[in-house]
Amino acid sequence: MAEKIVLAFSGGLDTTVAVKWLTETRGFDVVALTVDLGSQPNLKAIRERALAAGAVQSYVLDARQPFIERFCWPALKAGALYQGQYPLATALGRPLIAQLLVEVAAREGATWVGHGSTGKGNDQVRFDVAVGALNPQLKVLAPLRDGMAMTREQEIVYAQVHDLPIEVKAESPYSVDENLWGRSIEAGVLEDALLKPPEDAFRWTSSVDTAPAGSAVIELTFEQGIPTSLRRSASPSGGGQGGALALVEELNLLGGLHGVGRIDMIEDRFVGIKSREIYEAPAAVILHTAHRALEDLVLDAEVGRFKSSVAAEYARLVYQGKWFTGHRRDLGAYVQSTQSAVSGTVRIKLHKGSAQVIGRSSPYSLYRPQLATYSAGDQFDHQAAVGFIKLVGLPVRTQAAVQGSAVTEPLLEDDRHVVEVGPGALEVRLAEPVLRAAVPGVVDPNLRG
């Protein structure tokens, strides 16, 4: 009896050819699994294509809701932005797909799972590591990496020879992955790190130039770190309790209209390569901005500081495919515990590419106007500051007295810098700073004038 493999099937050229190749060349019974995370594939058409390509079974499913609630919300609460920027759309989608591959494999009695990643990126790591974490007995095959080895042209010929139902569209100039949390765009001309991304790379967002001249103001409400409602300030009745999915979809549309959420970065891939990546992630960028603003209001300063290092670690784990690990779960437990007071409302102005926080409120706000004010009603104890500073400065004064001052280069090196320019008027002329080349002799030829 043929061994069964559950293949993550997008319905594109690569995975359509892979269904046939796995059947013909490797002798598998192929079960195709298509997961919708919000790129709105036509699930019915994809199902038909899988079966027509020779799959013995085709599963399709809409996983948008669990994707948002079980993967995106935890990452949002953690403040997880890889290299401080990338909201991790692709990286968050992979473990969900891997989990479904494993669960369908169990249901089907399959001994293998497969996916369409190449041998060069992070996605292969994410799939393989996640599958191993969920069921170490399962074997993983990535045809594009593990033996199928066809160029695009060869795949098209293979599909024609085998009568596979593919639409030969003009080749996309980019490699794109898309879900509700964002759109990842790479390759093609984007590989020139100096080149401004052409407008055709973007699908969700207006450019700053074409975004509306007028701004939109929105109010986002959070309960324990989770966004629960979105309101347009201009229409007090509009918006509201549409659920997680509607909220993210609406923010993607509105943010995209105002050109919010474009990211252009050099990214450190897990496989050791630096690559130039473009993202569109209006909802994720707006939600991270708002969530952070609310945390600034309600989190104790020490928690805020410590949590930002947890955020960086959490983002790295997600990026590197370590979603299903004890370490991620434990960091998640800390994050969850920090969110008990992260409830309230943040007002954001969307305008010409920016999402600017313009107000926030919470019943748990630690911001006390009577302590902060410079006006009448000030309750801050100014005299207490004197003793506070005396103790804060104590170790510094002790060290300076015993070991000498930590200043090594005085600013006023000698009296020649102080020039008398009039009666009682002294002017200080500091020595010219010396400019040193960062790396002597190395000049970027792209930047040569």
As a whole number of Å, the CA-based R_g of the chain is 28
Residue 289 in 3-state DSSP?
helix
In whole angstroms, what is the distance from residue 141 CA to residue 242 CA?
Answer: 40
Considering only 42, 154, 172, 175, the residue that binds ligand ARG (CB under 6 A) is 175
Confirm or reject binding of residue 176 to ligand ARG (CB under 6 A). Answer: yes
Out of 107, 152, 172, 175, which one is annotated catalytic?
Answer: 175
Q: Could you tell me the smallest distance in angstroms from the CB atom of residue 43 to ligand ARG?
A: 20
How would you class 101 by CB atoms within 10 Å of its CB: exposed for 0-12, middle for 13-18, buried for 19 or more?
Answer: buried
For 366, half-sphere exposure in the C-beta direction (CA atoms, 13 angstrom radius) is 14
Residue with Cβ nearer ligand ARG (29 or 186): 186
Instruction: For 371, list phi and psi in degrees, rounded to 5.
Output: -90, -30
Q: Could you tell me the smallest distance in angstroms from the CB atom of residue 80 to ligand ARG?
A: 12
| Token pair 């594009």: residue | 144
Confirm or reject binding of residue 320 to ligand ARG (CB under 6 A). Answer: no
Judge whether 436 counts as a catalytic residue.
no
> Contact letters (x/-) for ligand ARG, 243-282, by CB under 6 A?
------------------------x---------x-----
Q: Which of 326, 312, 134, 293 has its CA nearest to residue 218?
A: 293
Q: Which of 415, 410, 441, 440 has its CA nearest to residue 428?
A: 415
Considering only 58, 99, 122, 289, the residue that binds ligand ARG (CB under 6 A) is 122
Confirm or reject binding of residue 91 to ligand ARG (CB under 6 A). Answer: yes
**Segment contacting ligand ARG (CB under 6 A): 30-38, 170-178, 197-205, 234-242?**
170-178
Residue with Cβ nearer ligand ARG (89 or 287): 89
Number of residues in contact with ligand ARG under rule CB under 6 A: 12
The answer to whether residues 159 and 14 touch, using CB atoms and an 8 Å cutoff, is: no
Q: Could you tell me the smallest distance in angstroms from the CB atom of residue 202 to ligand ARG?
A: 15
Residue 205 in 3-state DSSP?
coil
Confirm or reject binding of residue 184 to ligand ARG (CB under 6 A). Answer: yes
DSSP state for residue 375 in the 8-state scheme: S
In whole angstroms, what is the distance from residue 93 CA to residue 138 CA?
Answer: 20
Residue with Cβ nearer ligand ARG (179 or 252): 179
Residue with Cβ nearer ligand ARG (186 or 295): 186
Beta bridge partners of 346: 220, 360
Please, which residues have CB within 8 angstroms of residue 118's CB and are 6 or more apart in sequence? Answer: 124, 142, 144, 145
Residue with Cβ nearer ligand ARG (97 or 348): 97
Question: What is the binding site for ligand ARG (CB under 6 A)?
Answer: 90-91, 121-123, 175-177, 184, 186, 267, 277
Catalytic residue numbers? 14, 94, 123, 175
